[in-house]
Chains A and B, each alone.
Chain A
């Protein structure tokens, strides 16, 4: 090898200057193309609706500002009990929940919440019991009326609605799913699902047929005539979900919706909710005390403590840059590989080799950047495969094209979870290419980087 290598060196040396110029020329389109990829990724993150408001689309909080706001909360404060005025004063001056309770006998459930929830996202409100998360959720359809502050839903401030308009607002815009399912025991499953439509005054035939469709959506088509008491927990909650969907509201409120279910069923319900969301594209506000659930479901997560919001961000934001000690302690021990995507840990590919260059040029390129392997792309920037310098050396004497040296390689997508990347890393000795849906090479992942990033408590790279 060494002899061959120095031999090649000699050959290349003679053309050194010419080759460098040639490489610059060849690399020009690659540099150009990298810029394009970066731009396309940005626009995708900004919520390109064609691709659906999936999790990948929500990545990148800087892009969020361009998305439509479905729900906006401004300075929402809720005090339970008497002496609310003094309590509000104390909230303003920043006293703690316990101090206010001692001084006034009032419970501060929410303090000065400002929040924007975007259309089509799954927004998770997470916190331990008593932190005010369910109260906050109930402010969104005014089951709880804020003591102070505005709740603007689709442009309407619902805190100022009169009873009639509030009822109409709830009928038109909100569906809610409850922790203990909230099914009416005296009605059949189908009649339960039809409840919202019945309240709206939809004629019987129409509401039953629409309810049947909703039941089909959650996979309970044949259970319409059953009584709720005959169903298992997971099925009951699917009925609850179908009922909330039957009126086709644009906002779904889910209050600890899966908390009463067994862990295995809970997980499959989470999967189903994500599948369903891909079909229905609702704005979902999901309350939970379970961090794993929050990370799995949330496009964005708000972490609450003592009636206030500690941090709002994507699951990755929260894992990689926790706002304070409370959040850090909270996320301690979370399996990051389940949350982080390849996109968040990948690096810009350096060793990119155009298909049309010869083996010698390719070798020189790898040599220059100090790599022993590179990724080959074609003229349309599509990914072809991997070339190793040893293979290039082998074919240099005989072939003019690098095609013969290309070997196939396993790749991942930008939104692939690191969890799924690990088995691939185990099987290969080379970096793993990250390919976009259109087969463009958008990044590369080195095994060492992965280990660094998913180590619990590990610093962001």
Chain B
């Protein structure tokens, strides 16, 4: 009989090693993300509520061209303010935006690389499957070890969780560019960069936008879970409500999260769809 394979020990050893040897890098990442997040969240909270609602309405109208939806957005945001959840919502929103943007900034280039290299795509596939299916609570643990408690570790967990759809759909979108269009680019003597910028990315844009939409949605769901390791925002209220079995508080915070989710979803989706229509 073989003894238990020390998989857990290996994982723990790796985490300890990274903690011991890459401290400076980890500190820098913590500082950078913390700074960006702090800046965004102070900007968002500084905007007066009516002005923010107006901006959100204009953005929704421009992106979706739907008047009813815009009206709904205005009413929903007014509801959040009415429930007294405005500040927390802004906190959550800034967490989501920074996480999603970081995930996109990492995910799109990785997806582009994956689309050009079958071997890289194979390796990445395993990694992405791992990231997506590993229960999200599990990677809160190493994150806490590396980055401690608070907003930044919550966001790091969120970013890890939200990257896979961006990579996958960018890779897929570029691979789905018709062979003929790639030949068009090549036959006119385009460089690899020209081909990417003028043909592949624009043609793959709807698919990539779908990935970004997924990324935003996943970020939002993870931001709530990340409140378990000290991320602020609406998730904190949800967590408190669970602990106190406070149905009312939990429902209110839940509704606010749904509202933010729907607004972000409609806006990001319509950007992808509009490109599709051409």
Partner of B180, one of A166, A169, A180: A180
A141 to B205 alpha-carbon distance, docked (Å) = 29
Counting chain A CB atoms within 10 Å of each CB, the highest count among B180, B187, B205, B278 belongs to B187
With A169-B189, A195-B198, A199-B190 known as contacts, the answer to whether A186 contacts B278 (CB < 8 A) is yes
Q: How large is the interface on B (under 10, 10 to 19, 20 to 34, 35 or more residues)?
A: 10 to 19
Interface string of B182-222 (1 = CB under 8 A from A): 01101111110010001100110100000000000000000
In the complex, residue of chain B having the shortest beta-carbon distance to the beta carbon of A184: B199
A130 to B198 alpha-carbon distance, docked (Å) = 31
Q: Is the CB of A186 within 8 A of B186?
A: no
Q: Is the CB of B189 within 8 A of A186?
A: no
Q: How large is the interface on A (under 10, 10 to 19, 20 to 34, 35 or more residues)?
A: 20 to 34
Instruction: With both chains docked as a complex, state the minimum distance between the C-beta of A259 and any C-beta of chain B, in angstroms.
Output: 13
> Which residues on the B side are within 8 Å of A186 (C-beta)?
202-203, 205, 275, 278
Q: Is the CB of A185 within 8 A of B278?
A: yes
A171 to B187 alpha-carbon distance, docked (Å) = 8
Instruction: With both chains docked as a complex, state the minimum distance between the C-beta of B86 and any C-beta of chain A, in angstroms.
Output: 39
With A186-B202, A186-B278 known as contacts, the answer to whether A253 contacts B187 (CB < 8 A) is yes
Partner of A184, one of B183, B189, B198: B198
Segment 173-212 of A: residues with Cβ below 8 Å from B: 174-176, 178-180, 182, 184-187, 195-196, 198-200
Partner of B189, one of A168, A182, A185, A229: A168
In the assembled complex, B67 has its CB within 8 A of some CB on chain A:
no
In the assembled complex, A266 has its CB within 8 A of some CB on chain B:
no
Q: Is the CB of B187 within 8 A of A170?
A: yes
Partner of B184, one of A171, A178, A247: A178
In the assembled complex, A39 has its CB within 8 A of some CB on chain B:
no
A180 to B188 alpha-carbon distance, docked (Å) = 16
In the complex, residue of chain A having the shortest beta-carbon distance to the beta carbon of B181: A182
With A184-B202, A184-B203 known as contacts, the answer to whether A199 contacts B189 (CB < 8 A) is yes
Q: Is the CB of A141 within 8 A of B278?
A: no
Q: Is the CB of A199 within 8 A of B184?
A: no
Instruction: With both chains docked as a complex, state the minimum distance between the C-beta of A167 and any C-beta of chain B, in angstroms.
Output: 4
A184 to B178 alpha-carbon distance, docked (Å) = 10
Partner of A199, one of B180, B188, B203, B275: B188
> Which residues on the B side are within 8 Å of A168 (C-beta)?
189
A328 to B259 alpha-carbon distance, docked (Å) = 73
In the assembled complex, A143 has its CB within 8 A of some CB on chain B:
yes
Partner of A171, one of B178, B181, B188, B203: B188
A172 to B203 alpha-carbon distance, docked (Å) = 26
> Which residues on the A side are within 8 Å of B194 (C-beta)?
198-199
A180 to B190 alpha-carbon distance, docked (Å) = 20
Instruction: With both chains docked as a complex, state the minimum distance between the C-beta of A390 and any C-beta of chain B, in angstroms.
Output: 66
In the assembled complex, A227 has its CB within 8 A of some CB on chain B:
yes
> Which residues on the A side are within 8 Å of B186 (C-beta)?
143, 170
Interface string of A212-239 (1 = CB under 8 A from B): 0000000000000001010000000000
Q: Is the CB of A167 within 8 A of B183?
A: no
> Which residues on the B side are within 8 Å of A174 (C-beta)?
187, 189
Counting chain B CB atoms within 10 Å of each CB, the highest count among A169, A174, A185 belongs to A185
Q: Is the CB of A167 within 8 A of B189?
A: yes
Instruction: With both chains docked as a complex, state the minimum distance between the C-beta of B192 and any C-beta of chain A, in angstroms.
Output: 9
> Which residues on the A side are within 8 Å of B181 (C-beta)?
182, 184
A185 to B194 alpha-carbon distance, docked (Å) = 16
In the complex, residue of chain B having the shortest beta-carbon distance to the beta carbon of A201: B194
A180 to B183 alpha-carbon distance, docked (Å) = 12
With A199-B189, A199-B194, A227-B278 known as contacts, the answer to whether A182 contacts B203 (CB < 8 A) is no
Which residues of chain A have a CB within 8 Å of any CB of chain B? 138, 141, 143, 166-172, 174-176, 178-180, 182, 184-187, 195-196, 198-200, 227, 229, 247, 253
Which residues of chain B have a CB within 8 Å of any CB of chain A? 178, 180-181, 183-184, 186-191, 194, 198-199, 202-203, 205, 275, 278
Known A-B contacts: A174-B189, A178-B184. Give 16 more (CB < 8 A). A167-B190, A174-B187, A176-B184, A178-B183, A180-B178, A182-B181, A184-B184, A184-B198, A184-B202, A186-B202, A186-B205, A196-B189, A198-B194, A200-B189, A229-B278, A247-B188
List the 10 closest pairs (A to B, CB-CB), nearest first.
Answer: A170-B189, A171-B189, A176-B187, A182-B184, A196-B188, A167-B189, A186-B202, A182-B180, A199-B190, A199-B188
Interface pairs (27), CB distance under 8 Å? A143-B183, A143-B186, A143-B187, A169-B189, A175-B188, A176-B184, A178-B183, A178-B184, A180-B178, A182-B178, A182-B181, A182-B183, A182-B184, A184-B184, A184-B199, A184-B202, A184-B203, A186-B275, A186-B278, A195-B188, A195-B198, A196-B188, A198-B194, A199-B188, A200-B189, A247-B188, A253-B187
